[in-house]
Structure formats: structure tokens, C-alpha cells
Amino acid sequence: MDDSWTVDEIDVELAVSKAKSWIVKGKKSEDLRKHEQGHYNITALGTRDMYNKVKALTGKSRKTIMTEAKKIMGEVQSTIDEKDDLYDDQTDHGNIVASQLKWDKNIEGEMGNEKGSLDNLS
């Protein structure tokens, strides 16, 4: 008898909270939109990482898997937060053009690679 549990199916939803999203009047621009898209894409990469890690879980019980899944979700969210802060620091919120272009290319490369990961962003 096999006493190992696996994750057969997982649904992950990524949503933007309009209540937590804002912009200063008169500051809206295409460059700012692209910068903010970078934050969304960083979160999307983290979501993909989380999905892959949870999907690979095995355990002796549903409770074990759920405990590990929650741990993974917390770890990935911490990494997303760290990468978002690094992104803003290195680009000065999109104001340093050369750095913004470097991040855009890096994020795009990771998103386009099925094995791309949040961990590869710097």
C-alpha cells in the first residue's frame, strides 16, 4: 500500500487589488505603466515558482502537504517582496532608464523561459 500523497491539481490565481493600486495625478505615463508591469511580471514569476514547488510536493498526509504548501507560499511571497524592492531600488521606480531596460530584458527572459524563475532576477 502506497502511503504517499501527491498534488494532482492546483489552481493559482493572480489578481491586482485596485484598492492597493494608485498613481499620483499627472504622473501617469507609458514608462510608468511599463515599470508597473514589471512588478506584475515579478509577481507572475513568483506565482509560477510557487505553483511548480507545490505541484512537486509529496507527503504522508494531506495535512503534511498543506503545511508545506503554506510554507512555500510564505517563502515565495517574501522573495517577491524582496525582488520588488530591489527592482524599485535599482531602477529608482523606473527613473533610471538603463537599469529599467536591464530589468525589462531580464524579466522578459525569465518569463519566456518555461524554467525561468524569480530567483534568477537581480
Q: Is residue 76 part of a domain?
A: yes
Q: Is residue 55 part of a domain?
A: no
Q: Is residue 48 part of a domain?
A: no
Site of grid cell 509577481: 43
Q: Is residue 23 part of a domain?
A: no
CA distance linking residue 21 with residue 19, whole number of Å:
6
User: pLDDT tens across 80-92, in order?
Assistant: 999 999 999 999 9
Q: Is residue 20 part of a domain?
A: no
User: What's the chain's average pLDDT?
Assistant: 90
Q: Is residue 22 part of a domain?
A: no
Q: Is residue 68 part of a domain?
A: yes
CA distance linking residue 58 with residue 8, whole number of Å:
10
**Total structural domains in the chain?**
1
User: pLDDT tens across 29-79, in order?
Assistant: 888 889 999 999 999 999 999 999 999 999 999 999 999 999 999 999 999
CA distance linking residue 8 with residue 23, whole number of Å:
41
What is the domain extent for residue 71? 61-115
pLDDT band at 18 (very low <50, low <70, confident <90, very high): confident
